[in-house]
Amino acid sequence: NKDNVLNSPTILHHSFIGERDIPVTTYTVIVTGSSEVGKSFLTQQFTTSEYMCTYDNMTEEGDNTAVTVVLNEEESTLVFTEQTLVDDEPPCTSYNANCHVVVYSTADRSSFQSAKCFLDKLSDSEGVTQPIVLVGNKTDLVRLRSVTTNEGRKLAREYGCKFIETSACINYHLDELLVGVVTQIRLKIQREQQ
């Protein structure tokens, strides 16, 4: 049943690393946006984060990138899957994830429109209650900026998302994004357990 699938984001597994007996929870994150907004670059750049787990390097399995982070003495592995939005074509992957990261480029107005359309689709899909983080990337391209911070913030507020502006190029707000994703996921799980 479609609704059931949408209602039950996957926690892939709990595993234990080495002799330290620290439970690691794995979460799935779908990164969606138009082509060339920086989805791959953002994910790759997470390896430079100070929150990266030092003994567990980023791994790539097929199209997925996994990153283990340590936040508040708790480890979480995030498995990122990318989804490229193509005009007039419905997004193809399932909505089943622990978090959605929706990316546009602050230097590309049409990518902002595509992000808005995708948020619309997500909010129309009954049962999708996962946290969403809206990301305006490429803020280093100051002169080419065509989407203001306020527009991004307003869109995020409309759809109840967390909002972050980043630059994968100059490593701006990448830690905030990584921490934001983990925090949103943990808050959601805490709320469900109450």
CB 147 within 8 A of CB 106: yes
Interface pick for ligand GDP out of 77, 83, 137, 184 (rule CB under 6 A): 137
Nearer to ligand GDP, 75 or 82 (CB): 82
The residue among 39 and 162 lying less far from ligand GDP, judged by its C-beta, is 39
Please give the Cα distance from 48 to 73 (Å, whole number). 19
d(CA 187, CA 27): 13
* Among 30, 78, 79, 168, interactor with ligand GDP by CB under 6 A: 168
Q: How far is the CB of 1 from ligand GDP (least distance, A)?
A: 33
Q: Which is nearer to ligand GDP, 9 or 33 (CB)?
A: 33
Is residue 174 a contact residue for ligand GDP (CB under 6 A)? Answer: no
Helix ranges, the chain (H): 2-7, 39-45, 109-124, 149-158, 174-193
Q: By CB under 6 A, how many residues form the interface with ligand GDP? A: 15
Residue matched to tokens 């996962």? 130
DSSP state string for 86-114:
-TTS---S-S-SSEEEEEEETT-HHHHHH
Cβ proximity to ligand GDP, 78 vs 186, nearer residue:
78
Region from 13-21, 94-102, 135-143, 184-192 binding ligand GDP, contact rule CB under 6 A: 135-143
Q: How many CB atoms lie within 10 A of CB 75?
A: 19
Whose structure tokens read 């799980």? 189
User: Which of 58, 117, 169, 179 is close enough to bind ligand GDP by CB under 6 A?
Assistant: 169
Which residues between 19 and 48 bind ligand GDP (CB under 6 A)? 33, 35-41
Of 85 and 186, CB closest to ligand GDP: 85
Helix 109-124 vs helix 149-158: crossing angle, to nearest 10: 10
Which residues of the shown chain bind ligand GDP in the complex (CB under 6 A)?
33, 35-41, 137-138, 140-141, 167-169
